[in-house]
Structure formats: structure tokens, C-alpha cells
């Protein structure tokens, strides 16, 4: 008991400046509330006895006053325990708490009347007068209720007078139950960041409509003007009934007018252990991707994956791990998650074994360049489909370590593809990149060479009527928001450190998509592919990285170039201003989905491609960097180096032509 009392005192007295602040009291222990209630009951009894004695009413009959007090307090305390009148948070008392006190008081009155009736029947004398019971219950209810009301009002008063100076007047996007619940939760938040001033709806409304006493604004072209007139400094998205275009415009307009934007999940999804502060967060950049999300079909994927053995290489990476999570939805017989990175694979194993303990998942440590170990897995598990996401992808790093890029991206792909043919794997889906198109760096060129090899294998099987049934399919897309190689995690980390954000060039542009969408595309390609295709996703408009950085700074609640600076560092080795999804010689064909196209690249003869790739691999194994890159340029003639020591391997004419072409393209896009 002493320890509990000491803890309660510490809770009450703790604050940043060691001063008493009722807002810092998370909760008062129930036994303390119960003790206070018992004290108030005793006070009610004393006041009742005093009043009746002063009126010269014979309060005591056959029993003494001590026994009477014991009976009254005992019965009242019993019903307080039954109805748990002491259990609620005092500062958040509501009509439910008042109802509990009323029920306790009425129950106490009825039981005491029954006791009085029995006493009068057995002893011939009354225990209690009606006046005494009514007075006591009136005083007890009043004191208990006033105590709770006083604490609640004191808390609200202290909360108002000591409110943070960074307090935001906020408006909530939405008007349904979730929006109202968010408003209520934020209203009692401590320290309070928002004062909810109203709601925004996208429906026809009555101008006099109010929700929980707050005005409702109609979403239209003048909404930002009205928000500024009402001194609104934050918008909280609680119910997203706007279209992608409307939402994007609202966010853009808010950021342009220094209005912060926050996102709130459904209240039913809020974690019980997480505070309101952690639930309502600043809007993420992928929440406002300027295009409609892709919607894909599931039936074909279900036929391909359900009750099948599927291997995912690079399975511990951001793309590979998401492919694994999406494959799980189709109930495969076995998933083989292969990666050479031990710690990320171990972390993924712990996550999946906890969440999907009933599924058959094996985690394999292996380098895709280790053909002998790979062959053991193919022999042992009878693989039905492969999703090949293993690759080195950081452009500057691979420019400085070109042999490793070749060994993993080309040799590793060749090993997997050859084994897939030998063991009659049904589908081989390769994850490629837009950097493989007109590559300007070793990484992109190595991925293009890998694309050419798997396509030529598919072409060779069709040409020679081979018994091989493996369908080789390639998916090609741009940067993935939140992936290990994306600028978004880098920018977030730089913002958290207070800046500066580093950008290689003010005019650099990139295509973006979310990890989930990228992996849906990979699965969809595996299901619809007939073999030899390169599937390309309509990624919308390219994003200028400078604009992306400015937007992320504003979303984080800072002022660009003032709170967080942006520093230009210069293009890195192998980097170019823009990426394409198609080469100049490629053509596209539509598919059943309007946002997925098929590229018909020129497919070289398998014998030629294999011979060239073997030369590149041998040079890489000998660690002859310039020889490696020269042979890679021979296989991929559109590979023109940028900002790299390998520029000397290109002819002056092709270099001049590509530079001028890039300048024209960037100018057109801007």
C-alpha cells in the first residue's frame, strides 16, 4: 500500500519543470478514488445526522448510531463496487459515470428500505427514517458528482492555460463516425496539438449544418481561401472520399499556403498501446502519389501460385520481401525465400514465422552466383515458379565495383535461368529496372544484359521446339517509394537530422510507384505472360526530385531552405537526369489492363547473346574492370557512360549525340 501511494504521488508531482501539473497525471489509482468516495459518503452521513439532530428528529431507534452508520456505508460501498463507480478516469467523466452513481444510490436506497422493513417487522421499531435516507442519498450523489465534475473542469482549465505555443487550429476531412471519433480523441490529447475547428465534406450540405457543435465546410475550389479566413493551420484526413486527383490538389494547395496535412487511420485500427500522437501522423509522400492506384486480377495468379512451390530470390530485400508477403495470400505449398544477406533474412524469418506459423516457408542463405548450391535446391524442391528479385542496384556503388555487378546481376541470373530450363520450372519472372533502358551506368547495363539473356533463352526454346516449358517474363519499372534504393528513406533520415537534403541535380527527374504496386505488377506479369515479354507499367508523370524534396519538407512541417536546406551535390558516376521505360527501338502492345503494356524489344540470337555474356562473366571473374565494361558495351551498344571513368570507352560521336538527346528530352519534360 505504501509503495502504491508513493507511486501515485510521484505520478502527480512529475513534470518537466518539477511543478504540479494535473495534465501530467495519467490516471489516479482506483483505490485512491474509492477512498475519496468513502470520505464523501462519511461527509454526507455527518451532514445528514447534523441536520436531523438540529431539527430534533429522533434519528436513532432500537440500534445505536454507529451500527446504523456501518449498515449504510456497508450497503453503499457494496453497490459502488458492483457498479464500479470508482473505475473511470475522473478527468474524462461522462454521463455514464453519473448513471453509475445514480444506479448505486437507488440500489442502496432500496436495500436499506428492505432492511428497515425487516427490522420493523421483527423488532417492531424502524432502523431508518425516510427523511434520513433521502437526505443521505441526495448529499452522497451530489458530493460524488461534484467531485468528478470539479476534477474534470480543473483538468480542462489547466490544459487550456498551459497549452503549447505550437498549437494548430485544425479541420478534419470527413464527417462520418471515424472523423467524429478522431475529433474526440484529439480533443483530449495531451499535450494537445490541435483545436478542432470543423469538418470538410465532399457532399451537398446545409450551410447551417454543424457536427458536434462545429461548422462544416463544403469541399470546392474555394476551400483553401475559406480555411485561411478561418485561421486553419492544419488539415487531418480522417475519411478519404476524395478522388486521387482531388486529394492531390487539396494537399498541393495546403502545402502552398503553409497549411500542414496529417493522416489518420480508422479509429478501429488504432493500437491500444499507441497514443493519439502516434496515430495521427504527418502525411507520407506515397499517400499523395499523383495517379490512380493499379487494380489487378487475382484469378490467374491464384491458378499459378495456389498449392505450388515458389522461389523468391532477393527475398529479404524491400521488393523481394513484399513479393513473398503477397504470394502468401494465394496459399502456396512451399515458399523458398533465398538471399545472401543473413541479418535481413533472419529478421524476415522472425516476422513471417510469427504471423504465418502454419505456412511452409523455408529461408535459404545462398549467393545466386553459387550455381552448385542453387542446383541442390532445384533438385530437392521441384520448383514451379521463380520470382527473381536478387540484384545489386545502387548505381554509384556498382560503377566502382563493376565485376560484382556482373557476377550478381548477369551471372546470377544466368545460373537461375539455366537451372529453371533444366528442371522445367513453369515460370521465371525477372524483376528489372528502367535503368536498363539506354543505360548510362554499369548497373543498368548489367540488368539489360540479364534481360537479353532470359529473352534469348525463351526465343531459343521456341525456335528449336525445345522440350523446355519455362516461360521467361521480365517486369520493368522505375523507382519504388520506400525501397532500400529509393531517395525517400534517405530524405526522411536527412529531415529527421535537421537537414540538409542532398540532391545530385536540380533538374533530375524519376518515375515512382509504391512497393505494393510494384510487387502486384510482378505477380500479374507472371500470371499473364506467355514468355519472352517485358511488361511495363504506366507509372504516370515523372516526378522532379527537387519538387519531391520540397514537398517532403513541407509535409514534415518545416519550411524549405529555411528550416531544412537543400544542397546540390552534382551528378554521381553513372547517373543521368532522367530514366526511360522504353528504348527508341522498342514498340509496345496493350494488354487486358490499360496500365500494363508489353515491350517488343529486338531479341538477339541465343548463341550470340550467350557467347557475349560468357566473355563478360570471365572478364568479371578476372576482375578486369575496363575489359568487363568494354565487353558489356559490345553486347549492349546503347550503353553510353555518364559522369564515369568508363566514358573513354565510348566514341565521341555517340557520346555527343546522347548528351544532346538527353538535354532535349529533359527540356521537353520540364
**DSSP-derived 3-state class of residue 544:** strand
Calpha distance 378→383 (Å, rounded): 6
Grid cell, residue 31, equals 483505490
Three-class DSSP labels, 186-214:
HHCCCCCCEEEEEEEECCCCCCCCEECCE
**DSSP-derived 3-state class of residue 624:** coil
In contact, 652 and 668? CB cutoff 8 Å: no
In contact, 555 and 282? CB cutoff 8 Å: yes
Alpha helices in 60-171 (DSSP H): 65-83, 95-123, 130-161
Catalytic residue among 247, 260, 435, 471: 435
Grid cell, residue 152, equals 474534470
Three-class DSSP labels, 231-274:
CCCEEEECCCCCCHHHHHHHHHHHHHCCCEEEECCCHHHCCCCC
Calpha distance 300→303 (Å, rounded): 5
In contact, 52 and 80? CB cutoff 8 Å: no
**Whether 435 is catalytic:** yes
Neighbours of 585 (CB within 10 A): 10
DSSP 49-81: HHHHHHTT-----SS-HHHHHHHHHHHHHHHHH
Calpha distance 603→588 (Å, rounded): 14
Calpha distance 191→163 (Å, rounded): 7
**DSSP-derived 3-state class of residue 564:** strand
Q: Mutual orientation of helices 244-256 and 545-555 as an angle, nearest 10°? A: 70
What's the start-to-end Cα distance of the chain, in Å? 72
In contact, 444 and 632? CB cutoff 8 Å: no
Residue 520: which H helix or E strand, with range? helix 515-528
CA angle 557, 494, 273 (to 5 degrees): 65
For residue 337, what are the β-bridge partners? 312, 363
Q: Tell me which residues are annotated as active site.
A: 435
Amino acid at each position: 500500500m505504501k509503495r502504491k501511494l508513493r507511486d501515485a504521488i510521484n505520478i502527480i508531482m512529475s513534470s518537466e519543470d518539477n511543478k504540479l501539473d494535473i495534465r501530467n497525471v495519467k490516471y489516479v489509482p482506483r483505490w485512491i478514488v474509492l477512498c475519496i468516495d468513502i470520505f464523501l459518503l462519511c461527509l454526507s452521513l455527518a451532514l445528514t445526522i447534523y441536520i436531523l439532530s438540529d431539527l430534533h428528529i429522533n434519528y436513532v431507534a432500537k440500534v445505536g448510531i454507529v451500527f446504523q452508520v456501518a449498515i449504510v456505508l456497508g450497503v453503499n460501498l457494496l453497490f459502488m463496487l458492483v457498479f464500479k463507480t470508482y473505475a473511470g478516469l475522473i478527468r474524462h467523466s461522462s454521463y455514464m459515470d453519473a448513471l453509475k452513481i445514480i444506479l448505486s444510490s437507488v440500489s442502496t436506497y432500496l436495500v436499506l428500505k428492505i432492511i428497515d422493513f425487516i427490522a420493523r417487522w421483527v423488532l417492531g421499531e424502524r432502523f431508518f427514517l425516510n427523511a434520513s435516507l433521502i437526505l443521505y442519498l441526495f448529499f452522497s450523489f451530489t458530493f460524488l458528482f461534484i467531485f468528478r465534475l470539479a476534477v474534470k473542469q480543473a483538468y480542462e482549465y489547466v490544459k487550456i492555460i498551459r497549452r503549447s505555443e505550437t498549437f494548430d487550429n485544425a479541420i478534419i476531412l470527413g464527417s462520418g463516425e471515424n472523423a467524429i471519433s478522431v475529433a474526440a480523441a484529439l480533443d483530449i490529447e495531451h499535450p494537445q496539438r490541435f483545436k478542432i475547428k470543423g469538418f470538410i465534406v465532399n457532399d451537398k450540405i446545409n450551410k447551417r449544418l454543424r457536427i458536434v457543435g462545429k461548422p462544416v465546410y463544403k469541399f470546392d475550389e474555394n476551400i483553401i481561401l475559406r480555411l485561411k479566413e478561418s485561421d486553419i493551420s492544419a488539415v487531418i484526413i480522417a475519411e478519404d472520399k476524395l478522388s486521387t486527383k482531388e486529394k492531390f490538389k487539396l494537399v498541393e494547395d495546403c502545402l502552398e499556403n503553409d497549411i500542414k496535412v496529417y493522416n489518420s487511420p480508422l479509429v478501429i485500427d488504432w493500437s491500444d498501446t499507441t497514443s493519439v500522437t502516434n496515430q495521427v501522423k504527418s502525411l507520407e509522400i506515397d499517400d499523395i502519389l499523383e495517379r490512380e492506384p493499379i487494380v489487378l486480377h487475382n484469378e490467374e495468379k491464384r491458378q499459378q501460385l495456389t498449392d505450388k512451390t515458389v522461389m523468391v530470390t532477393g527475398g529479404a530485400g524491400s521488393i523481394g520481401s513484399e513479393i513473398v508477403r503477397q504470394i502468401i495470400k494465394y496459399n502456396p505449398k512451399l515458399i523458398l525465400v533465398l538471399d545472401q544477406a543473413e541479418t535481413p533474412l533472419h529478421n524476415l524469418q522472425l516476422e513471417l514465422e510469427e504471423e504465418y506459423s502454419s505456412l511452409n516457408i523455408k529461408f535459404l542463405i545462398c549467393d545466386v552466383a553459387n550455381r552448385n548450391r542453387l542446383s541442390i535446391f532445384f533438385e530437392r524442391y521441384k520448383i514451379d515458379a521463380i520470382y527473381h528479385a536478387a540484384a545489386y542496384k545502387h548505381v554509384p556503388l556498382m560503377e566502382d565495383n563493376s565485376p560484382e555487378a556482373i557476377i550478381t546481376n548477369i551471372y546470377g541470373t544466368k545460373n537461375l535461368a539455366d537451372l529453371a530450363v533444366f528442371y522445367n520450372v513453369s515460370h521465371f519472372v525477372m524483376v528489372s529496372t528502367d535503368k536498363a533502358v539506354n543505360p548510362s551506368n554499369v548497373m543498368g547495363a548489367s540488368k539489360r544484359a540479364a534481360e537479353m539473356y532470359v529473352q534469348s533463352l525463351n526465343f531459343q526454346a521456341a525456335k528449336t521446339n525445345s522440350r523446355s516449358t519455362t516461360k521467361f517474363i521480365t517486369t520493368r519499372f522505375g523507382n519504388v517509394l520506400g525501397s532500400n534504393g529509393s531517395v525517400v528513406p534517405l530524405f526522411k533520415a536527412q529531415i529527421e537530422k535537421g537537414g540538409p537534403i542532398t540532391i545530385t541535380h536540380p533538374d533530375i527527374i524519376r518515375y515512382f510507384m509504391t512497393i505494393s504496386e510494384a510487387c502486384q505488377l510482378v505477380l500479374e506479369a507472371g500470371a499473364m505472360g506467355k514468355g519472352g515479354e517485358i511488361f511495363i507499367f504506366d507509372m504516370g508523370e515523372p516526378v522532379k526530385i527537387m519538387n519531391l524534396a520540397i514537398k517532403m519538407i513541407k509535409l514534415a512541417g518545416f519550411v524549405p531552405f529555411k528550416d531544412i536546406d537543400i544542397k546540390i551535390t552534382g551528378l554521381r558516376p553513372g547517373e543521368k537526369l532522367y530514366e526511360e521505360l522504353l528504348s527508341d527501338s522498342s514498340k509496345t502492345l496493350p494488354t487486358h489492363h490499360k496500365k500494363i503494356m508489353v515491350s517488343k524489344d529486338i531479341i538477339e540470337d541465343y548463341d550470340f547473346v550467350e557467347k557475349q555474356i560468357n566473355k563478360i562473366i570471365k572478364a568479371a571473374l578476372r576482375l578486369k574492370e575496363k575489359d568487363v565494361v568494354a565487353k558489356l558495351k559490345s553486347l549492349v551498344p546503347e550503353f553510353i557512360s555518364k559522369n564515369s571513368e568508363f566514358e573513354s570507352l565510348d566514341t565521341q560521336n555517340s557520346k555527343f549525340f546522347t548528351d544532346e538527346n538527353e538535354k532535349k528530352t529533359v527540356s521537353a519534360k520540364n
